[in-house]
Amino acid sequence: MAGFLLSKSNNKYRIIINCELVDTLIEELTPFAKFFSVTFLEKTNYVRASVESEPFSKSIFLKNNTFALSVEIEDDKKDITNTISLKEWSAANMILGNFYLSKNQAGKFRPLEINYDIQRVSFDKGCFRGQEIIARMKYLGVDRRRFCTIISKSEIKDEKHLKIIGESIKLKDSFICLSLIKKDFLEVLKEDASILII
């Protein structure tokens, strides 16, 4: 229903989320909040996002062997230099296999279709809505598709063996997109020297 980041400070949790998904998230969580004496307060803060190289800070939420992504919540706007564009930030997230849902995508994907089963679902903790289906797919299902990041010299289009997830980004001379690819088609794509699959 929504992708978000959770930050804990002074025994309070703050959620970093696309503003157009706030109502969706609160609506989904409200039935459970009363059991834990939780209330929601919508606030607008500044989020400072960074692409880091080692040594990584404590605020990273996703990384690979080359770089990491981090966010910090600020109450006041800071004078920030050496910034990157939203397009570059989106591309860094895509390279790490991180997909942010938009309002028109909420409720349209199963977690395993958008990498959430790996990045956002815990199979060791309590119950959650949809747990049975998600767990069944992980432990008993046959997954014939793989969630991948594609970096290509030419724009990638939807086709029979490949479904684009979200939007493709053109950055410098390359196109970057997230996709679901049929596993038997992966090897065919990997033979193309102009395409990198992560």
* Residue pLDDT, tens place only, 112-122: 788 888 787 77
What does pLDDT average to over the chain? Answer: 84
- pLDDT tens-digit readout, 77-91: 765 566 778 888 899
Strand order in the sheet with 174-182: 162-171, 174-182, 145-152, 195-197
CA dist 60 and 52 (Å) reads 8
Cα–Cα distance between 177 and 93 in angstroms, integer? 11
pTM reported for the whole predicted model: 0.81
CA 46 to each of CA 102, 159, 173: distance values in angstroms, whole numbers, following the listed order:
20, 39, 31
Q: Which of 18-27, 137-146, 184-193 has the highest mean pLDDT?
A: 18-27
pLDDT per position as a tens digit, 37-58 = 888 988 888 888 888 888 888 8
